[in-house]
Chains A and B, each alone.
Chain A
Amino acid sequence: MAAVTETIRTVQGLEADKYLHGFVTDIEQEFAPKGLDESTVRFISEKKGEPEWMLAWRLDAFERWQAMEEPDWAKVHYPKIDYQDLYYYAAPKKKPQLNSLDEVDPDLLATYAKLGIPLREQAVLAGVINSPRVAVDAVFDSVSVATTFKAELAKAGVIFMPISEALKEHPELVRKYLGSVVPVSDNYFACLNSAVFSDGSFVYVPPGVRCPMELSTYFRINAQSTGQFERTLIIADRGSYVSYLEGCTAPMRDENQLHAAVVELVVLEDAQIKYSTVQNWYPGDAEGRGGIYNFVTKRADCREARAKVSWTQVETGSAVTWKYPSCILRGDESQGEFYSIAVTNGRQQADTGTKMIHLGKNTRSRIISKGISAGKSSNTYRGLVSSHAKAKGARNFTQCDSLLIGKECGAHTVPYVEAKNAHSVFEHEATTTRLSDDQLFYCRSRGLSAEESVALLVNGFVRDVLQELPMEFAVEAQKLVAVSLEGSVG
């Protein structure tokens, strides 16, 4: 790939220039050409100024990825992805030239208004480029807020920074834990991520520290920089606690069609991580064209005794969602929880669920999944609960509820249960209900409009899970679920 070599040389030239002309770099130029080969991987690593071992790690992942095949077992259908037709590093954003909010799709603005997003943030999210003051203000705001937060976190000893920075400042921690939960060649998309991930978040909470804030507001402000191949690594050392929230309730337009993130959580003795996700990426147009493919690997390792992890997710966006936040319950008496709301409308497809792998004694897990399908969408819960021969006294409770709105959607439940010892207790409950005309009429006869009625009934259906979200996000998520289902009853 001569073009790549040339680009690399150009960039190397720029790097050298840096020291002559200061740190002014033209961000627009910082991208690798389309396509993926070894030089792309080297380019990314070099751009990030990564240590040698990191490059070797990436190259190893790339080599393994080439030998792998894209999986096809999920109940989702999408056109074949051409991996040579993608940008892997800082793809130039081809956002439409918008001069003011007046030019933004009115539907999008209406949605922002319903979600209660301030005007300034709306402009940033919609990508109005000719009003730099708006964007700059927001960025300045977020920088100052972030700085305040960082000072407070530093006081508590919590490390919270982009993973690319952590590679420079805390290489020993990254090296020790990166890939220790999701091995390089775990699956096709995780392997691809390992080779080409651009950035993501790194969190380390020292022993006995209770993180003084939800790591959420910060992330929300920064949500527009959501990358295509994100890598998140969170470590809760012994006896510590942290609550982390990723995502954004605002619908994000993004030119990157494929999102293949990896999230690794390491939970040590008596520590707890609460990880919440609100995902509302572009689901595509009415025919499902142009929507995001969200193929994410999320896994938590309860590595030592009494470690605890909770995954809570509200998934309303993307054209195709394929993710199974999982818990490895290695430590004795460790606990895993999974609370999920997955809403599909239009032609969206979601195949999501969890894995609870019981390895330690007296480990416990709990799964509450609420799937809501409307329009012509398909919503599948797929979950694995397994207990190892040594996992005596393992317990799981699974509750899987599906709600159908309309007659053209589908809901599927695929539970896998494997008990390899006679001392495990696994319970599974599942229900499928249709939103009934009787219930709708009952609500309307009390004065609620058709849409208010659906929103009320659906919010009742997902209440158990909403309660698991951090307070301020529960309110937004509730509105989000309602907005996602608008127009689903006529």
Chain B
Amino acid sequence: MLSIKNLHVSVEETTPILHGLSLDVPAGEVHAVMGPNGAGKSTLSYTIAGREGYEVTDGSILLDGEDLLALSADQRAAKGVFLSFQYPLEIPGVPALTFIRTALNAQRKARGELEVPAPEFLKKVRAAAASLKMDFDMLRRGLNVGFSGGEKKRMEILQMAMLEPRLLILDETDSGLDIDALRIVAEGVNAMRAPDRSMLVITHYQRLLDYIKPDKVHVLAKGRIVASGGPELALTLEKEGYDRIVAEAA
């Protein structure tokens, strides 16, 4: 399970963005983190994933009891942390297939496992692409180059399916998706639900949670969790907006 205690984070020595954030996501559960713009949602996802420049001044992040803060981004990935980006990057000249296989083998190597045999990899990636309704030829092109917003998000979910992480962080995965793409992406995420996986769904809107049903909802405002509850909390927020809850917390 993911366990965040009293997390304080500053970005490039400016004002602290997160101060005193605590959050537990047990294995097998899906938690949503909702919050207004500028609440620190992306900072939270980047800090868990280990982006450089996000300085943790206090607190801890443990995954199954292991201290993530002591590890680099790639070491965390090998431990099973996966961040689905709000704006996935383009990598010209590197076909998606190459990218995913390189990443998968790097993680396996870090864990002391053998490289995945090419036929097995291809079989699996074909099946995953088909379930996300992606044209397989897209995987032979430069990663995300010339892809639409929806295609990029599907590519993130495809990578997630192939890397089989223990902790999934979805950062604003619904942004830029039309309703059909949203459904396909959500189905892909739901297919990943498993007793040994934790999922953190970071979103501004409730809409995504119609498709990916959370076990718990947390409200992030002013750098910490100000309210937690069941799925009904998301509906309340959708109706009332963030103002009242944020004001009450202040």
Residues of chain A having any CB pair with chain B under 8 Å: 436-439, 441-450, 452-453, 456-457, 459-464
Q: Are A448 and B106 in contact (CB under 8 A)?
A: yes
- Chain B stretch 60-98: residues in CB contact (< 8 A) with chain A: 72-74, 76-78, 81-83, 85, 88-89, 91-94
Contacts of A447 in B (CB 8 A): 74, 77-78, 103-104, 106-107, 110, 163
Q: Which residue of B lies closest to A452 (CB)?
A: B106
Q: Which residue of A lies closest to B92 (CB)?
A: A460
CB of B202 within 8 Å of the partner chain: no
CB of B201 within 8 Å of the partner chain: no
Residues of chain B having any CB pair with chain A under 8 Å: 49-53, 72-74, 76-78, 81-83, 85, 88-89, 91-94, 99, 102-104, 106-107, 110, 142, 159, 163
Q: Are A442 and B89 in contact (CB under 8 A)?
A: yes
Q: A17 to nearest B CB, angstroms?
A: 61
Q: How far is the CA of A464 from the CA of B94 in the complex (A)?
A: 11
Partner among B76, B81, B92, B102 whose Cβ is within 8 Å of the Cβ of A452:
B102
Q: Which residue of A lies closest to B77 (CB)?
A: A447
Q: How far is the CA of A443 from the CA of B50 in the complex (A)?
A: 12
Partner among B51, B91, B102 whose Cβ is within 8 Å of the Cβ of A441:
B51
Q: How far is the CA of A447 from the CA of B50 in the complex (A)?
A: 11
- Which secondary structure dominates chain A's binding surface? helix
Q: How far is the CA of A399 from the CA of B159 in the complex (A)?
A: 32
Partner among A445, A456, A461, A463 whose Cβ is within 8 Å of the Cβ of B99:
A456
Partner among A438, A441, A445, A463 whose Cβ is within 8 Å of the Cβ of B93:
A463
Can you list 11 A-B pairs, Cβ within 8 angstroms, ordered by A? A439-B91, A442-B85, A445-B76, A445-B77, A446-B77, A446-B99, A447-B74, A447-B103, A448-B102, A450-B74, A460-B93
Q: Are A445 and B50 in contact (CB under 8 A)?
A: yes
The verdict on A445 contacting B49 (CB below 8 Å), with A456-B99, A456-B102, A460-B142 known, is yes
Q: Which residue of A lies closest to B88 (CB)?
A: A442
Q: Are A444 and B74 in contact (CB under 8 A)?
A: yes
Contacts of B110 in A (CB 8 A): 447
Q: A467 to nearest B CB, angstroms?
A: 10
Q: Are B94 and A456 in contact (CB under 8 A)?
A: yes
Contacts of B91 in A (CB 8 A): 439, 442-443, 456-457, 460
Q: How far is the CA of A447 from the CA of B89 in the complex (A)?
A: 15
Q: Which residue of A lies closest to B87 (CB)?
A: A438
Q: B46 to nearest A CB, angstroms?
A: 8
Known: A443-B103, A445-B49, A459-B94. 9 other contacts (CB 8 A): A442-B91, A445-B51, A445-B74, A446-B77, A446-B163, A447-B106, A459-B93, A460-B94, A460-B142
Q: How far is the CA of A210 from the CA of B50 in the complex (A)?
A: 56
Q: How far is the CA of A460 from the CA of B163 in the complex (A)?
A: 21
Contacts of B83 in A (CB 8 A): 445
Q: A370 to nearest B CB, angstroms?
A: 10
The verdict on A457 contacting B85 (CB below 8 Å), with A445-B77, A447-B106 known, is no
A-B interface, 3 closest residue pairs, ranked by CB to CB distance from nearest: A460-B93, A447-B77, A460-B94
Contacts of B49 in A (CB 8 A): 441, 445
Q: How far is the CA of A438 from the CA of B72 in the complex (A)?
A: 15
Q: B141 to nearest A CB, angstroms?
A: 12
Q: A360 to nearest B CB, angstroms?
A: 34
Q: Are A444 and B72 in contact (CB under 8 A)?
A: yes
Residue from B102, B104, B110, B142 whose CB has the most chain A CB atoms within 10 Å: B102
Q: How far is the CA of A206 from the CA of B106 in the complex (A)?
A: 50
Q: How far is the CA of A463 from the CA of B106 in the complex (A)?
A: 21
Q: Which residue of B lies closest to A433 (CB)?
A: B92
The verdict on A464 contacting B93 (CB below 8 Å), with A444-B72, A446-B159 known, is yes
Contacts of A436 in B (CB 8 A): 89
Contacts of B51 in A (CB 8 A): 441, 445
Q: B153 to nearest A CB, angstroms?
A: 14
